Amino acid sequence: MPKLTPGDQAPPFALKDQEGHTVRLADFQGQKLLLYFYPKADTPGCTKQACSVRDGREDLAVLGVAAVAISPDEPARQKKFDTKYGLGFPLLSDADHAVAEAYGVWGEKSMYGKKVKGIIRSSFLIEESGKIIQAWYKVKPEETVPQAKLALNI
């Protein structure tokens, strides 16, 4: 799957969040969006990343940036993750990984010395019209928000 680059149109999505509501890329038209993909709710790296986004949401909101996360987890698992850490932003379920594939983040990776298919932790900053401002593949959990701020020249 080819990787997205700045200027590319962000692939549309319509996925269920942790509350069972359908969230679409189109819902964020007119504002910037920090969209990130993570492998599995309530694991160390994913928790670090989600809490970093939670803690940076006020700064992002001031910049007109909303935050949304996507993983293959079912909405019930996303809900537990949200409740446990008070995340407060949409966690979307991409159980069939179709959206992950469209964004080029579903692929082979090494896990405990084995090659497996799964989410390659990545984040995307999307402009108001739906075009990619910046894409970070294999992003470190703690770099999701700082990289987005840097891309906005903050």
Residue 1: predicted pLDDT: 59
Among left, alpha and beta (phi > 0; psi -120 to 50; other), residue 86 is: left
What is the distance between the alpha carbons of residues 141 and 14, in angstroms, rounded to a whole number? 24
What are 1-10's pLDDT values in tens digits? 579 999 999 9
Q: Name the pTM for this structure.
A: 0.94
What are 81-115's pLDDT values in tens digits? 999 999 999 999 999 999 999 999 999 887 778 88
Residue linked to tokens 């504002």 = 31
- CATH code, domain carrying 135: 3.40.30.10
Beta bridge partners of 124: 35, 135
Does residue 108 form part of some domain?
A: yes
Residue 60 parent element (H or E): helix 44-62
Q: Which domain holds residue 123?
A: 14-151
Average per-residue pLDDT in the chain? 94
Low-confidence ranges of the chain (pLDDT < 50): none
Does residue 7 form part of some domain?
A: no
Does residue 1 form part of some domain?
A: no
DSSP, residue by residue, 98-133? HHHHHTT-EEEEEETTEEEEEE--EEEEE-TTSBEE
CA distances from 21 to 17, 69, 119 (A): 5, 14, 23
Residue 154: predicted pLDDT: 57
Residue positions annotated with a catalytic role = 46
Number of domain units in the chain = 1
